[in-house]
A and B are shown apart, each in its own frame.
Chain A
Amino acid sequence: MTERLDEATVAARLAALAPRLVADATGVQSLRRLTGGASMATFAFDVAVRGGAPVPLILRTRAVAPDDDSPPLAREAQVIAAAVAGGVPAPEVLHVCCPDDGLGEGYVMRRLTGETLGKRIATDPAFAPARAILAGQCGAALARIHATPPPPGLDTIDAAETLARYERIWRQSGAVRPAIEAAFRWLEARLPHTQVAPRLVHGDFRNGNLMVDPDRGLVAVLDWELAHVGDPAEDIGWICCNSWRFAQAGARVGGFGDLDDLLAGYVAAGGDPIDPARIDLWQMMASLKWGVMTMQMHRSFAEDPAAGPERGVIGRRLSEAEADIVALLHRGSPRC
């Protein structure tokens, strides 16, 4: 059982921990709970320092007992720490909680400053200087992620395994949509015949999980809970998915940049060149995965309609995945 902690308890236990987080710490202030999904709880707080400015930090903990298949938060912290050591812009991990801390399963990292709202990054005029450099910076960050030795214990999930997993979930949904069926078969015919060298993959690298400064561009890559070992092209195809471009036509990368700029940044930072056909494959996979995820949202709506219509409305976003799949079917792509 994971104890559900109230804010006063969290504040007291963080205050006890503070001297091990920051030198000359005198206490903890400005603790507040951030929105953080149903299963995780994220707290922002500052450590007060004798004779210095407060140090802004984040505590990420599990709010409910984990599912059997959810990886330990300590492993997520290890992935972030490994990525930072490899030169990826990401929040430095200061502490992985142990039972004596009384904070449950979790870790503490630095709190950085920047914008994470994807729509603002893609469309706000103030972010025009960032948009000019962001795709290249994303390419460099991805090259460094993919060059980071994966911490032990991460799952290896290649294209074939991804396709099989999502097809199982799709069949359970009972939905009958020929476009989705065509996507499964199109991808099946294009699975790489030769083994792709497995790399550390972020797993959710999209506009929305990037922290961006209006002038300096990429501040940090966030949200590492889906990190795994797999095909590095997965991360590139995911950020190219039309569903997170915020209606910015012609900006294939996240609604803010060009794929050529991302790939140039990738190779300049030491990444191995990636076959464009594999990026097409993973972009199709991205729209297909999103389509299947909308059916999982529908399922939780159907199980509890009184919780509100939001997840039912997301179920209707299957149509956008379908349109993006058909556009990619029509555009075509050579086999890998």
Chain B
Amino acid sequence: MLTHPTAQALVEGVAAWLPLDGSASPFALRVARNALDIAARDMALGPAADERAARRIAAILGRDDGPRDELDRALVTAIRAGTIAPDDPQLVAHLAASALDHLAIDQPRYLHELDPNLTKR
């Protein structure tokens, strides 16, 4: 799950800010619409992305499938401890797939430089 901010915090943030007196600038309104679009895509795409990520991480760590947040923590611990090299091919393939899933939620039009062969599904 994407957490900084969460989809819920984005929606709450727009609600907490949205002025009712017509004082919002067109720029600020565009930003608010973008925030709501991100939250909506997160709700639509996030759960399936989390399931896919959890399966990949479980395979890398040789563990049972479980909640993604737990597996992410375990993966960070392994990278930090050096038991998985930062450029380990299986890790990089997982990170690439996750990065694409995250971009699909946060910035679908970002021109990334990920190798198409790396991210073929």
Chain A residues with CB under 8 Å of chain B are: 173-179, 181-183, 185-186, 189, 242, 245, 247-249, 294-295, 298, 301-302, 305-310, 312-313, 315-320, 322-324, 326-327, 329-332
Main secondary structure of the interface of B (DSSP, over half): helix
Q: Tell whether B90 is near chain A: CB-to-CB under 8 Å.
A: no
Pairwise interchain contact A305-B114, C-beta atoms closer than 8 A: no
Pick the 4 closest A-B CB pairs, nearest first.
A182-B86, A319-B102, A309-B35, A186-B86
CB-defined contacts of A182 to chain B, threshold 8 Å: 79, 86-87, 91, 95
* Residue tally, chain B, CB below 8 Å to A: 49
Bound-state Cα–Cα, A327 to B17, Å: 36
Q: Tell whether B43 is near chain A: CB-to-CB under 8 Å.
A: no
Question: Of the candidates A298, A330, A332, which one forms a contact with B114 in the assembled complex, judged by CB atoms under 8 Å apart?
Answer: A330
Q: What are 11 pairs between A and B in contact, CB < 8 Å?
A: A176-B69, A176-B73, A301-B5, A305-B9, A313-B31, A313-B34, A313-B35, A316-B107, A317-B107, A319-B102, A329-B87
Question: Of the candidates A176, A305, A319, A332, which one forms a contact with B12 in the assembled complex, judged by CB atoms under 8 Å apart?
Answer: A305
A316-B95 in contact given A176-B72, A307-B17, A309-B10 (Cβ < 8 Å): no
Q: Which residue of A lies closest to B109 (CB)?
A: A247
Pairwise interchain contact A316-B106, C-beta atoms closer than 8 A: yes
Question: Of the candidates A305, A323, A329, which one forms a contact with B17 in the assembled complex, judged by CB atoms under 8 Å apart?
Answer: A305
Q: Which residue of A lies closest to B34 (CB)?
A: A313
Pairwise interchain contact B12-A242, C-beta atoms closer than 8 A: no
Give min CB distance, B109 to chain A, whole Å: 8
Question: Of the candidates B28, B38, B76, B110, which one forms a contact with A320 in the assembled complex, judged by CB atoms under 8 Å apart?
Answer: B110
A175-B3 in contact given A316-B38, A326-B99 (Cβ < 8 Å): yes
Bound-state Cα–Cα, A247 to B75, Å: 31
Pairwise interchain contact B10-A312, C-beta atoms closer than 8 A: yes
A309-B14 in contact given A315-B5, A316-B107, A324-B112 (Cβ < 8 Å): yes
Pairwise interchain contact B99-A312, C-beta atoms closer than 8 A: no
